[in-house]
Structure 1
Amino acid sequence: MRLVMLGPPGAGKGTQGQRLSERFNVPQLSTGDMLRAAVKAESPVGIAAKSVMDAGGLVGDDIVVGCVAERLQQSDAVDGFILDGFPRTVAQAVSLDKLLLSRRLCLTAVIELLVDEELLVKRVEQRAQDALNNGQSPRSDDTPETIRKRMASYRENTVVLSNFYHNQNRLIPINGMGAVDQVTVDILEALS
């Protein structure tokens, strides 16, 4: 199973990706998590990415594609993967297709979680509050201002991916507004 999870920030890609990862026994690969780990480790990639991420922008294709290409070479991703947060642009999608084609592979499907933007802002605010309630620091990008910037960037850069994958007959739109368990059921039914 080789899946891409599409949807705006806070749509539930990470949650659903984790559930699908467990169901299909393949790793969930979050470029956001990979980049946040690089930021935390203060690696050169992390330092370069930090200021862009904190401002709600998207990290450049070259950094992200290289990060993903390296990760897909690891042994746990040989039998499949779930990409969460990648690709975000058509250029990244083309790079992913080329990478998979070079390994004689292709995507199984692309799941797009469709959600209301105002609900997303509330979800992100709740995620930040939950982190504080659990004695953790919220993600630096979990603020209403940053999420609105990320939404604008998503609309500008990422929404065209729906058409790209629709034209490849790989896009599966899913209503992401329901309860978490129901969204999972809907995805599994669509994949079967």
Structure 2
Amino acid sequence: MRIVLVGPPGAGKGTQAALLAKTLSIPHVSTGDLFRANISQGTELGLAAKSIMESGKLVPDEVTIGMAKDRLAQPDAAGGFLLDGFPRNVAQAAALDEILAEWGIELDGVLDLEVPEDEVVRRIAGRRVCRNDNAHIFHVEYHPPVAEGVCDECGGQLYQRADDAEDKVRVRLEVYHTETEPIIEYYQKQDLVTTISALGTVDEVTRRAIEALRKNETQRKNDDEG
């Protein structure tokens, strides 16, 4: 299956992408991983991205698209992939369509994780991270530490990252609504979008996602045969 995962910050895209990719036996391709890999390997695109980011500017679409194309051309993606964070806007979505058309393949579906805005703010603004180990993450409501402000794992101090402050979260949501959300309408015109609720436990959302993708796959096959 070839899938694009879409959803606002705080929807759990990274968690769901990893679980869905494992279940479907396809590679999880995230924008963050693309940038880290290209920069660490010193590729031409990676060096360009690093230079642009160090100057404080946004990486242009053509650089991101080039990285995505190179990644999807690798052998492990021949049988399918799950894209997380790409495409980020309509221009990137159109470029992806052109790449896939060039290769004679197409997307199987776009999974839209839907979360109410207030819940997004609650999820992100409530996060607390350990100063000793960023992998130790708690939440003031959903996963509080035993002792307030103290990491259960190592006793380190818990703090709220600057990007997790409510005002910053709302700015990130506005950017999502302006830049990324329009790709949902773009793909709806191709009858590719399936929207599911991202509320509930991780396992509940994963089951919901798998059922939706399987149903969509069956429907598309029936339509093709019809």
Normalising by structure 2, what TM-score? 0.72
**2:118 equivalent to 1:118:** yes
| Deviates further, 156-165 or 145-154 | 145-154
Query: Does the 8 Å contact 1:39/1:49 carry over to 2?
Result: no
User: What is the match of residue 21 of structure 1?
Assistant: 21
Match of 2:155 in 1: none
CA distance in 1, matches of 2:191, 2:132: 42
Q: Is the 8 A contact 1:36 1:46 kept in 2?
A: no
Tell me whether 1:143 sits opposite 2:164 in the alignment: yes
Does the residue aligned with 1:111 lie in a helix, a strand or coil? strand
SS in 2 for 1:18: helix
Question: Going by fraction, where is helix more abundant, 1 or 2?
Answer: 1
C-alpha deviation, 1:33, in angstroms = 2.9
Distance 1:36 1:10 in 2: 21
Q: Does 1:106 align with 2:128?
A: no
Q: CA–CA distance in 2 between the matches of 1:175 and 1:161? A: 18
Q: CA deviation at 1:184?
A: 0.8
| Residue ranges of structure 2 left out of the alignment (5+ in a row) | 138-160, 215-226
* Structure with bigger gyration radius: 2
Encode CA deviations 1:87-129: one digit per residue, 9 max, x unaligned.
Answer: 11111111000000111110010000001223223333455x2
Q: Is the 8 A contact 2:38 2:67 kept in 1?
A: no
Q: Distance in 1 between matches of 2:126 and 2:40?
A: 23
Q: Is the 8 A contact 2:5 2:110 kept in 1?
A: yes
For 2:204, the aligned partner's letter is: Q
Q: CA deviation at 1:40?
A: 7.1
Output the aligned Cα RMSD. 2.5
Of residues 109-118 and 41-50 in structure 1, the stretch that sits farther from structure 2 once superposed is 41-50
- CA separation of 1:179/1:89 partners in 2, compared to 1, >3 Å: closer, same or farther? same
Structure 1 residues 40 and 177: alpha-carbon distance in aligned structure 2, compared to 1, 3 A threshold: farther
| Alignment correspondent of 1:189 | 211
Report the Cα distance in structure 2 between the residues aligned to 1:146 and 1:37, rounded to whole angstroms. Answer: 27
TM-score, scaled relative to structure 1: 0.84
Contact 1:100 1:106 in 2 (8 A): yes
**Aligned letter for 1:143?**
D
Take 1:83 and 1:90, find their aligned partners in 2: how far apart are those partners?
Answer: 15
Aligned positions of 1:33-182 closer than 5 A: 33-36=33-36, 43-49=47-53, 51-52=56-57, 59-126=59-126, 129-130=128-129, 132=130, 135-136=133-134, 142-144=163-165, 145-182=167-204
Cα distance in structure 2, aligned partners of 1:108 and 1:15: 21
Query: In structure 1, how many angstroms separate the alpha carbons of the residues matched to 2:6 and 2:162?
Result: 18
Deviating above 6 A after TM superposition, structure 1's stretches of 4 or more consecutive aligned residues are 39-42
The answer to whether the Cα contact below 8 Å between 1:12 and 1:176 also exists between their aligned partners in 2 is yes
Task: Indicate if the aligned counterparts of 2:26 and 2:77 stay in contact, CA closer than 8 A.
Answer: yes
In 2, Cα distance between equivalents of 1:119 and 1:35: 29
**What is the one-letter code of the residue matched to 1:86?**
F
Cα distance change on mapping 1:167 and 1:120 into 2, 3 Å:
same
Measure the CA separation in 2 of the matches of 1:180 and 1:134: 26
Q: Secondary structure at the match of 1:86?
A: coil
